[in-house]
Amino acid sequence: MPVNQPKKTLKPIFNKEASEPFIPYGTLAAVDKSSADWILEQSGGRLANVTRMMLNTPNLMREWLCFVLKLLRCSLTPSDMELAICTVVSINGADYALIHHIELYTKAGGTRAKIEALQGCIDGKATAQSVFSEAETAIIRFARDSTLNVYVDDEVRRAALNAVGSAEKFVELSMVVGFYNAMSRFLVATGVSIEGEARV
């Protein structure tokens, strides 16, 4: 049965207000040299603020980063994956993730028109859906319903399965949506700020 939840107010898709982290960021001093070198290698030599925040939990840091890297290299097309992620983090008001993943969605082929229409599609406005294909609309609806309701109707699941094209990709889509709901909550709770905007 659907989970009863209060109606959520969706945040504007481009809410770029700077924020201070709730707790100080961690540092590479929290891990041994081999781990620090590995983290820097996987991060391209520059630590994102979300990685810096995770360094407050060094025992979980490596496992967390390994999982994220594997998830982002799954068999979903980059455009499908990033569209789902942008839907989730937009609903949850996780601005840090939204700003980063809008950039990745654009690199994967997402157009400005689609980015601007995404909020309307999340709200269920038919006019906003016209810029998206049937498959893209199915992915957005699946990500939206899973995020807002947890329970997803069979019709919505079937449409998402048809959109991504295989059981493997549907499971990956479900994992991406689930993970970025968790990530949204982590980012918002800890107050991770956009790089260059932190005041600590």
Is 137 in the same domain as 55? no
Between 119 and 137, residue with greater pLDDT? 137
Is 168 in the same domain as 92? yes
Give the Cα separation of 132 and 117 in Å (integer).
9
- What pLDDT is attached to residue 24? 85
Is 156 in the same domain as 176? yes
Q: Are 163 and 138 in contact (CB under 8 A)?
A: yes
**Separation in Å, CA 143 to CA 52, 61, 185:** 28, 27, 16
Between 168 and 51, residue with greater pLDDT? 168
- What pLDDT is attached to residue 23? 80
Is 96 in the same domain as 174? yes
Please state the domain count of the chain. 2
Is 158 in the same domain as 59? no
Of 164, 16, 169, which Cα lies nearest the Cα of 100? 16
Of 55, 110, 40, which Cα lies nearest the Cα of 79? 110
- What pLDDT is attached to residue 8? 42
Is 64 in the same domain as 122? no
* pLDDT at position 176 over 90: yes
Is 98 in the same domain as 183? yes
* pLDDT at position 198 over 90: no
**What is the extent of the structural domain holding 121?**
78-190
Is 153 in the same domain as 185? yes
Is 90 in the same domain as 133? yes
- Which class for 167: exposed (0-12), middle (13-18), buried (19 or more C-beta within 10 A)? exposed
Task: Determine which of 35-39, 86-90, 134-138, 174-178 has the lowest per-residue pLDDT on average.
Answer: 35-39
pLDDT tens digits for range 22-72: 888 888 888 888 888 888 888 788 888 998 899 998 888 888 888 988 998
* pLDDT at position 14 over 70: no
Tell me which DSSP letter residue 57 carries: S
Q: Are 21 and 48 in contact (CB under 8 A)?
A: no
Mean pLDDT of the chain: 84
Residue 3 lies in a domain: no
Residue 198 lies in a domain: no
Where residue 155 falls among pLDDT bands split at 50, 70, 90?
very high
Between 39 and 87, residue with greater pLDDT? 87
Give the Cα separation of 107 and 115 in Å (integer).
12
Is 120 in the same domain as 151? yes
* pLDDT at position 19 over 60: no
Rounded to two decimals, the pTM is 0.83
Of 112, 115, 75, which Cα lies nearest the Cα of 98? 115
